[in-house]
Amino acid sequence: MIGISPVSVSHYLLVGAVLFVTGAVCMATKRNALGVLMGVELVLNGANLNFVAFGSKYLRAESLGLDGQLIALFVIVLAAAEAAVALAIALNFYNNHATIDVDQANELKG
C-alpha cells in the first residue's frame, strides 16, 4: 500500500469534468431528443459533483461544507423540472410527427 494515494478533491473534480464533457459530447452528437436529454442530465450531474467537491471541508476548513451540497440540491430540483417539461414537449412532438428526431423540429422555430 505504499504507492496508493487517498482520494482527494482533485479526483472528484476529474470525474466531474469527465461527466461534463461526456454530456456535452452527447448533446452535440445525438439526433434523438431523449439522447440530448440524457446529455443534459450528465452535464448537470458533472456540475453537481464539482459543486460538492468545491464545497468540501478539504478546501475550506472554516465553513460547514454544506455550500456545495445546497447548490447541488437546487440543481437537482431544477433538473427534475427540466426533465418533466422536456419529456412533455417530446411526447407532444411525437404525437404530432411520429418521430423525436431533433432535425425534424424545424417548424418549432419562432
**pLDDT confidence band for 107 (50 / 70 / 90):** low
- Tell me what pLDDT residue 46 has: 94
**pLDDT confidence band for 94 (50 / 70 / 90):** confident
Residue 7 to residue 50: CA distance in whole angstroms: 15
| Total H helices, total E strands in the chain | 3, 0
Q: What is the pTM of this model?
A: 0.79
Query: Nearest 5°: phi and psi at 65?
Result: 85, 15
Residue 101 to residue 96: CA distance in whole angstroms: 12
Task: Return the higher-pLDDT residue of 79 and 3.
Answer: 79
Average pLDDT on 20-28 reads 95
Q: What is the mean pLDDT of the chain?
A: 85
Report whether 52 contacts 68 (CB < 8 A).
yes
**Domains along the chain with CATH numbers:** 9-102 (1.10.287.3510)
Task: Return the higher-pLDDT residue of 22 and 55.
Answer: 22
